[in-house]
Structure 1
């Protein structure tokens, strides 16, 4: 294996590690919340901010993080994100006050907002359209699914064995590995592009708008949708985001070029991602509650019950890497979305207090997970179709923002649906009926996503874009243009991918 092929493989390793880390931390903390409350003396409302602080900074800064990677180089943003995330995890595992833990979670969210777009952008930059990128995107989807599933299981195991602090400290060795591995990727810092600016006005408006939007959504658990607090918060978010759109249409170097969304593949991918995340994240939440509060599972058993979902996602991703060249992006995305909707509908149909693992959890999990796994490859392909290399981080930040907002929106809506159906009932049967109603709405969201993929994605280029000739080996995925300044990789830009020996 030559040096260049080795660099590409290390780059893929780092991207997958980062994706796993971000997904892990979105779920690993949840099981430990009761222990955090007891040890640090959280109030019930204060405990929610252990989750919300992370969600606010993560969702609010994703667009900023993605564009920053375009402008100053992926290596710098990757390193800064890892240092912030690892440092905040270490501090969070050692703090003695509720405020200290909330602050550490907020800084973790800042680090994650830098890391999530970079992980996706590295794959898009390093692998050309075709089999190599399809395989890399399949692995990217598997890493995210594995992180979420392992987070639920590890949260229970670590909390039972070593206490809640372990769920914060477990991130530190992963961050150290990623930092060391990044030295072998060939990534260099690079200078900012000539004439490119960060667009501080747009960054401020979109960060404020997304933060206020996520705040309004996560607080619906304590402030009803019709309350003045929720309506005022969501209204303020809408005004900030409208102002952001106006500013972006007038600046030379926008944080988000609005024309990017005029491309049908990019628009369809982000709409599908929004709907997929709305259903998927909410279904994870309700499946966990259903197993614990209706079926009587403990935290560790609940985490273990999620492992078949992880296996199904891996199977679906592997299937997608082989099927995308035959079916094309459009039909594969619609098929995956429809299969995921069917799996969630099976959860709805079998969610009963007298249910069993085989009947109410395992069967629906396998169907839904294969469908979800099938979506990652075509989703990543569509999100970067016709996107210039200089805007890869922008497209990645947009896709990750759609994912985060979709998850927050879906959970906020479906918690309300479940509460209305339950109507104050606290028995296993009452709760199961509320969860079933939420699952039906989740299935509907995924079905709408599948329909949107069929209607919005163009059929003309999905086969060609996914299956056109490309190097079969990862070793050939990045080639260096002979005679190009600084040995810049073909398809990459200065400051992103360069030979390590340069």
Structure 2
């Protein structure tokens, strides 16, 4: 590599830190949207007359479009340019949000949610790949990804707080309208300060068969878990969707191994470290979504918290995530290999989840829920930042978009799987418990207590599963990831993959 090629890493452009503000703002908007609408859904359903059968589609339409199109969005970022894709994604997301806020009927709202997913699939990988190509020096990268990891990890909980405030004191429509100022500020800032490296684009023709196969395959997979939640795992439709998803995704892998310019070069996912990140992070998100889902219901229904108070109750977890990401992960990332942050981080989060399995009808928030949330936040924050950094670390510039998209895909698909899988487990455990205690409903008060008891038992059972899934994520992170320190000091750690990645950092700044 010539000195000219290495220049950006030696003399970093100070505007990259201003750029990080706007990239982080855009990422916060996308992550917020995954949870903010959940709080507003009951009000929107009543206002627009949405049927119970169609209610789930307000969430599912977004998840299907987002999860199914992420790899396509990442490839578009590599082809068009990351800055351009980022701005287009922001603009489209803002317009879709305006449409959702102005929705006059169910069809208009569902269409707006699907459009949000489409533009989110452009925006999310473009944002992460911009970080990957703009921050290449090890200590700078650690700080930037620490901030980004805190936003990505804590944004969902912030969405619960903001959703509660907007719904309780304003109107459910503001959970959509609030995205518009986020998008406008981020887009204007991007135009003014983002300067991505001029080279490193992947200008090969778009792999259309790959786009169709992976999009339909991921949509089928996400929808299969959604149908499993409503129709059961043994339903013919559910089984058919799972089989269809497996066939489509297997065909996608076959096509990608044959075509000259694949949508997802298999070298991206077959790298031991990146593959380990995608797998362990996806599992961790499955477990974390279980916490959001069940603890939200538990606080509101069993402990009778208001929507706003429920959101506030999650604040210690947000604080833990920010602390773990910026004060633990970012400070240690250049000193120790990533697996020594990811595995203990996931393990610490699982211990927080273990505490939360002990919830009961009258659990004390300060004594049990608070320490569980803090441990969960610290653990996930510590693990998220090195995971996101390693997933794009050492990747060739032409693959930065799809590598970033795979991080988002593992999270989005993990979230969809977690919601459906754990909700099914909780519902089954509740039904079994109620059947075993059917004779105890001797009065209306006893019947209500029994209903709450069954609900809490179901939540606790599902959180036990979340604990196991997070523990498995910790094991996989420790076993599969063997990269050394990002500054190259860990070249002797593990096999050549880690050393190669550490030595490839300058390639990102052609």
* TM-score, normalised by the number of residues in structure 1: 0.90
Q: Distance between the aligned counterparts of 1:363 and 1:278, measured in 2? A: 21
Query: Which residue of 167, 172, 192 maps to 2:180?
Result: 172
Distance apart, 1:233 and its partner CA = 0.9
Q: Deviation string for 1:223-255 (max 9, x for gaps)?
A: 101110100111111111111111111111111
Query: Is this contact kept in 1: 2:341–2:382, CA < 8 A?
Result: yes
Q: Match for residue 347 of structure 2?
A: 338
Query: Is this contact kept in 2: 1:74–1:187, CA < 8 A?
Result: no
Change (3 A) 1:437 1:123: same
Query: Which residue of 65, 69, 76 maps to 2:84?
Result: 76
Q: Match for residue 367 of structure 1?
A: 375
Query: Is this contact kept in 1: 2:132–2:393, CA < 8 A?
Result: no
Change (3 A) 1:194 1:209: closer
Does residue 479 of structure 2 align to residue 455 of structure 1? Answer: yes
Higher relative contact order (CA 8 A, sep 6+): 1
Query: Which residue of 311, 319, 323 maps to 2:332?
Result: 323
SS at match of 2:283: helix
Query: Which residue of 105, 120, 127 maps to 1:97?
Result: 105
Query: Which residue of 17, 20, 38 maps to 1:12?
Result: 20
Q: Match for residue 310 of structure 1?
A: 318
Change (3 A) 1:97 1:353: same
Change (3 A) 1:202 1:149: same
Query: Is this contact kept in 2: 1:62–1:117, CA < 8 A?
Result: yes
Distance apart, 1:443 and its partner CA = 0.8
Alignment of 1:149-160 (within 5 A): 149-160=157-168
Distance apart, 1:263 and its partner CA = 1.1
Query: Which residue of 149, 171, 182 maps to 2:190?
Result: 182
SS at match of 1:277: helix
Alignment of 1:422-441 (within 5 A): 422-423=430-431, 425=434, 427-441=451-465
**Between 382-391 and 264-273, the greater mean CA deviation after superposition:** 382-391
Does residue 427 of structure 2 align to residue 419 of structure 1? Answer: yes
Alignment of 1:169-318 (within 5 A): 169-187=177-195, 196-317=204-325, 318=327
Query: Is this contact kept in 2: 1:72–1:191, CA < 8 A?
Result: no
Query: Is this contact kept in 2: 1:10–1:184, CA < 8 A?
Result: no
Q: Distance between the aligned counterparts of 2:380 and 2:410, measured in 1? A: 16
Distance apart, 1:295 and its partner CA = 1.6
Q: Distance between the aligned counterparts of 1:106 and 1:40, measured in 2? A: 17
Gaps of 5+ in 2: 1-10, 435-449, 492-505
Q: Match for residue 491 of structure 1?
A: 508
Distance apart, 1:129 and its partner CA = 4.6
Q: Deviation string for 1:419-464 (max 9, x for gaps)?
A: 11111746222111111111111011111111111111115x2464
Q: Distance between the aligned counterparts of 1:265 and 1:206, measured in 2? A: 22
Q: Match for residue 54 of structure 1?
A: 62
Alignment of 1:129-140 (within 5 A): 129-140=137-148
Query: Is this contact kept in 2: 1:202–1:255, CA < 8 A?
Result: yes
Taking only aligned residues, the RMSD between alpha carbons, in angstroms, comes to 2.0
* TM-score, normalised by the number of residues in structure 2: 0.88
Distance apart, 1:215 and its partner CA = 1.0
